């Protein structure tokens, strides 16, 4: 009876409750161990829509770290409002990522300090493409909701300058487009000029390599189509 009640409760929260889980994560170093403090909440597109009544999901969680970025090193089931997890033998400078390869359906809200630990692995593409996409997608979802500043998003975007994955580029293009819409509504020519220079810095390296037309001898056609599509709409007109 207890087992079936638990199954029904899990099904109800995943199928009948509006929104979906977000896990807020903070960390503390204790010698060679990393102590993680996780808190689950309900993600809605606006903080105004949040309510005091929040369901508790049963969330399968896993972690990867900087020295082993492609294999899950720790797994657990998160079934409470808060949980404390200790990961052994993690250096203080080493990043830890929740939801490896975006295998499960929830968002992760890292502290800004934790996000900044990812930058070198993003630049060098030491994280998997799905993890690079996952970090970017979650971050801008929280920016749109008002949890993070746009400055943080722009600072992190700088480190995607070497990106060559078409799916990650689609997310980069969407993020830049959202920021352009926001700035264009502010009627601030100086700010728009700065944003144009920023956008040129992000995509200019890839356009030097790819050009404007598809060449099958270069990178994948899908990559070319996505970056050319973004360029046609935004870059030719506003950046280059």
| Beta carbons within 8 Å of 198's beta carbon, 6+ residues apart | 154
pLDDT of residue 180: 86
Number of other CB atoms surrounding residue 235 within 10 Å: 22
Q: 83-119, pLDDT tens digit by residue?
A: 999 999 999 999 999 999 999 989 999 999 999 999 9
Strand order across the beta sheet in which 74-78 lies = 74-78, 59-65, 96-98
Q: Which residues of the chain have pLDDT under 70?
A: 1-16, 46-53, 207, 209-240
Q: 63-76, pLDDT tens digit by residue?
A: 999 998 988 988 88
Give the residue from 183, 212, 211 showing the smallest Cα distance to 195: 183
pLDDT of residue 46: 65
In the chain, DSSP assigns E strands to 20-30, 33-43, 59-65, 74-78, 82-87, 96-98, 107-110
pLDDT of residue 235: 46
Torsion of CA 222, 224, 225, 229, to 10 degrees: 140
| Residue 239 per-residue DSSP state | I
């Amino acid at each position: 009876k207890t087992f079936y009640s638990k199954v029904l409760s899990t099904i109800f929260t995943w199928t009948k409750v509006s929104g979906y889980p977000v896990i807020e994560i903070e960390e503390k170093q204790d010698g060679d161990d990393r102590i993680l403090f996780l808190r689950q909440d309900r993600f809605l597109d606006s903080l105004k829509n949040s309510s005091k009544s929040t369901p508790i999901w049963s969330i399968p969680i896993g972690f990867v770290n900087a020295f082993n970025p492609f294999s899950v090193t720790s797994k657990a089931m998160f079934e409470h409002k808060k949980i404390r997890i200790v990961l052994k033998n993690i250096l203080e400078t080493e990043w830890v990522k929740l939801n490896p390869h975006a295998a499960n359906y929830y968002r992760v809200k890292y502290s800004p300090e934790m996000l900044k630990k990812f930058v070198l692995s993003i630049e060098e593409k030491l994280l998997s493409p799905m993890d690079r996409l996952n970090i970017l997608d979650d971050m801008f979802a929280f920016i749109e909701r008002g949890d993070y500043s746009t400055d943080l998003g722009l600072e992190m975007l700088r480190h995607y300058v070497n990106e060559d994955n078409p799916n990650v580029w689609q997310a980069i293009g969407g993020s830049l487009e959202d920021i352009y819409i926001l700035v264009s509504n502010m009627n601030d020519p100086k700010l728009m000029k700065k944003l144009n220079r920023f956008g040129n810095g992000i995509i200019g390296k890839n356009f030097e390599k790819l050009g404007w037309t598809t060449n099958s001898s270069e990178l994948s056609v899908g990559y070319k189509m996505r970056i050319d599509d973004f360029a046609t709409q935004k870059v030719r007109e506003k950046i280059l």
